[in-house]
Structure 1
């Protein structure tokens, strides 16, 4: 607890002491507050003899506190009133260190919603103001902590110009309050502006742009292009991430952010590369027809890429082109739209045309599934891809991808550094699921095995099963075989110790009795979660 021991002039009356405690939450320690409560006891107020100055002075209080009670303070009603006031200052939460309180406050104040809309159904969500109105102590902490005011979500939704001028004026005052109390802290801005009239939100956006140099994260959701709200020429010195959510996939342009030298991540449904990316640009998440080759040429320092749409139209020429090496790419996510035949070629295009020698994370998922029947796993392409890109892959994720157990087994054997495996059979037909008893038995480890084990460095396993039949007993045996009881037993073995297991069922019940014997592994430090859909872990 932070205690302010420097008080300046000491208050002379009990009333002033209580006022001091209310205005300055850290002026007195909990022990001193308890002494004040004792002084408010109506019995103690009457038993102290008057001093030469005509005052009562309780012996329990520090000597440097000269408290003037006066005759009127011997009133039992007034004594109980003071005790009631001081009770709040002795609550258990006051014993929490200020640093711990701030951690709790930051967790609560992840976003502050400031809205000005037609419909009264939307409620403001301003956790930092709620905290500040709880008590003087919390208000002081909230006011003096700029980071609590820096996460601002602004929603302006009017079909026409707002008729309630006073409400819009109050909205701007509230926005100005947040911007002012955030001081020089980096800002997290989430701008939601539906509609096609950019003039309605212009005053609020103008206020935000006055602090554009402090923007660190910017998210935009609206019907217009971002250039309709933000003109050219603004400097975004600390901006590191941009996230766009708009229906105008093919018209989104990035000219307003041309002066963002520290931009590192771009999440955009449709991106037009009309500016030179900054030297620190490392991540992109796009759903666009722009070719992957064009993206890596324009952004040579990319480290994280999520690609959704394909621009390759001739699958017969995939193997005729030389591979392009992307040296710095660490994370690659491929999202397949199986409802569009052309987009099914996206994975073939990337696997055949590129190599990523520094790749550590590979995720392949189906976004708009077609029951997993239209996408056949490209075994030969994946084999050639792994020959140049599998050495450092530590995380492999498959979601809703049609792949047989034998093909998956081949892929796992080709990933010697794999530590984290995540497989989901969502949207796949029951006979198309790669999560079978054969796959589970494939992961079993035994010191008597002569051949090389599959995924010897596996530390984290996550399975999401949407089918009906699952071999719980075999899975439990595999988990036990992969979990060495003590770390010193790992030395000399050819297998890592399994640290985390997550198993989610979406169409069947959990047989808790089968997994009861695994609870002992939890007590030894392994994270184990077996749950049903909609059931809390």
Structure 2
């Protein structure tokens, strides 16, 4: 039978009352599997089993008592440990590099982070969604308030830096009159930002949804217009024109340098919305969706943003003779007024964004831009065949311009078209290319990289003066079309260590060393060992960054 240990009220866990041997356990298992019936256990054996079970119950109770005791000790230890963890974290924070930063450096960081504070009315009573969908807590869209809530030092720094509070984006929906009280807190928050911004120039974006409701909007808009003299940049969009919401007549805007109105009243080609900004002596940037006649001082504009199909582009440029930067956005059609190209010797930067092929080609046919040095083309929704290679080359040749910066975002063109374009831009210093989402139109994954390699045996080289190269590739590991080794060889061939014999020899061939390389793969992983040689170049002075789907590799 099972051996029975002596009873003991307090003992170690090993001193148990019953202890079945291996043989007894095997016998028990056999009995459980094979013996059955009314006489399987004799009366004597039944009494013996009851005694053993009683002892086992006492052992179980003993273990429960020990477990409860140890759990209590664990809870006591955890209670003692938690304050130590808190104290440890506080002591460790004294060694934090952040604490060693001066207030001046911290403020530079804060200014970088607090580019915009989104003030959106809540609740949003409309079925139409707001311009900005909040996917995180509201405080994350208010970086200045978030910073001022971290600690007393940051709070004091934020309150002593009015410029952090001067970048405001206001999105508001006017509810029914019976729900107007819900906006009281929203208006108070806007007032807090205006008050804490002191006398600093304001960067203000305003979005008003639904039809004008003067009684609801009046407190907010009156408060904003009281600070009109501080507006440095002003952007408006909404369902109705600006002047239907607020009266801006007789206001002066002595600091206003940038004005962008996406929705305005157009009465017979005359815009009362823009007329309100007649007194803006520093205005130099204007964004507008269409041609208009107004009292805006267009003769002093340097940067012009035109949207949604200006049909009389040349007429607009005649009104703005000093424009240096022209940006056209979302053009679906364009009707040139003359068969002869219009020559502008002031425009140095041209951006065509989200334009469709007919407009893109007609715009290139319309202009001669001999001073052009920056060309930006962006479109993420084009289909194949929308790149006019011959027209582009003809435009560059006809204008006799020296392009130093060429930027392509999501454009649909083949690698051969891209190479043809680069061949007519030998003065190029900065090249930025982001692949199209369409797999068959990804120019940087095939022939471009090998063609960028400098060969010392020939004096002919593609873009020989390239200083900075930024590439964003949409390819993945499955298609296997990106040659990592060729990319490394290309960078090595274009890097000339300052003062070296190779640098002097390349200079005689009209080639300059590359200075900055950035490569990012959106969906692809790379072998970091392949890019190991670039780390050596980085130590010599070349700035190299390689980022794959998992993060920075070089």
The TM-score with structure 2 as length reference comes to 0.70
CA distance in 2 between counterparts of 1:444 and 1:337 reads 32
Partner of residue 293, structure 1:
314
Superposition deviation, residue 471 in structure 1 = 1.8
Superposition deviation, residue 361 in structure 1 = 0.5
CA distance in 1 between counterparts of 2:550 and 2:289 reads 30
Partner of residue 33, structure 1:
none
Superposition deviation, residue 239 in structure 1 = 1.0
Partner of residue 306, structure 1:
327
CA distance in 2 between counterparts of 1:164 and 1:410 reads 61
Partner of residue 177, structure 1:
192
Partner of residue 231, structure 2:
215
Query: Is residue 111 of structure 2 the alignment partner of residue 101 of structure 1?
Result: no
Aligned match of 1:154 in 170, 195, 207?
170
Given that residues 194 and 223 in structure 1 are in contact (C-alpha distance below 8 angstroms), is that contact kept between their aligned partners in structure 2? yes
Aligned match of 2:470 in 462, 473, 481?
462
Superposition deviation, residue 214 in structure 1 = 0.6
Superposition deviation, residue 456 in structure 1 = 0.9
Aligned match of 2:281 in 251, 261, 285?
261
- Superposed counterparts of 1:343-362, under 5 Å: 344-362=357-375
State the superposition RMSD in angstroms: 3.4
Q: Residue deviations 1:446-485, cap 9 Å, x none? A: 22214x2111110111223334311222221111100112
CA distance in 2 between counterparts of 1:248 and 1:424 reads 37
Q: Describe the shift of the 1:248–1:506 C-alpha distance in structure 2 as closer, same or farther (beyond 3 A).
A: farther
Partner of residue 54, structure 1:
none
Aligned match of 1:145 in 148, 152, 161?
161
Given that residues 437 and 474 in structure 1 are in contact (C-alpha distance below 8 angstroms), is that contact kept between their aligned partners in structure 2? no
Given that residues 174 and 217 in structure 2 are in contact (C-alpha distance below 8 angstroms), is that contact kept between their aligned partners in structure 1? no
Partner of residue 403, structure 1:
413
CA distance in 2 between counterparts of 1:480 and 1:129 reads 47
Aligned to 1:461, the other structure's residue is in SS state: strand
Partner of residue 517, structure 2:
501
CA distance in 2 between counterparts of 1:535 and 1:171 reads 39
Query: Is residue 450 of structure 2 the alignment partner of residue 441 of structure 1?
Result: yes
CA distance in 2 between counterparts of 1:96 and 1:249 reads 53
CA distance in 2 between counterparts of 1:244 and 1:511 reads 48
Q: Residue deviations 1:494-517, cap 9 Å, x none? A: 211111222233454323332222
Aligned to 1:332, the other structure's residue is in SS state: strand
- Superposed counterparts of 1:51-62, under 5 Å: none
CA distance in 1 between counterparts of 2:522 and 2:157 reads 44
Superposition deviation, residue 138 in structure 1 = 3.8
Aligned to 1:513, the other structure's residue is in SS state: coil
Partner of residue 348, structure 2:
330
Aligned match of 1:392 in 393, 399, 402?
402
CA distance in 2 between counterparts of 1:132 and 1:383 reads 53
Q: Residue deviations 1:384-434, cap 9 Å, x none? A: 31124353311112233343444433322221210111223313342x433
Partner of residue 388, structure 2:
377
Superposition deviation, residue 345 in structure 1 = 1.6
Query: Is residue 494 of structure 2 the alignment partner of residue 474 of structure 1?
Result: no
Length, aligned pairs only:
438
CA distance in 1 between counterparts of 2:361 and 2:172 reads 43
The more displaced of 177-186 and 485-494 is 485-494
Superposition deviation, residue 272 in structure 1 = 3.3
The TM-score with structure 1 as length reference comes to 0.72
Given that residues 173 and 209 in structure 2 are in contact (C-alpha distance below 8 angstroms), is that contact kept between their aligned partners in structure 1? yes
Aligned match of 1:243 in 246, 251, 260?
260
Superposition deviation, residue 254 in structure 1 = 2.3
Partner of residue 111, structure 1:
116
CA distance in 1 between counterparts of 2:290 and 2:244 reads 16
Superposition deviation, residue 133 in structure 1 = 4.6
CA distance in 2 between counterparts of 1:162 and 1:144 reads 39
Q: Residue deviations 1:227-247, cap 9 Å, x none? A: 223423321111111234569
Partner of residue 9, structure 1:
none
Superposition deviation, residue 87 in structure 1 = 9.6
Q: Describe the shift of the 1:423–1:154 C-alpha distance in structure 2 as closer, same or farther (beyond 3 A).
A: closer
Aligned to 1:517, the other structure's residue is in SS state: helix
CA distance in 1 between counterparts of 2:411 and 2:176 reads 46
CA distance in 2 between counterparts of 1:102 and 1:322 reads 53
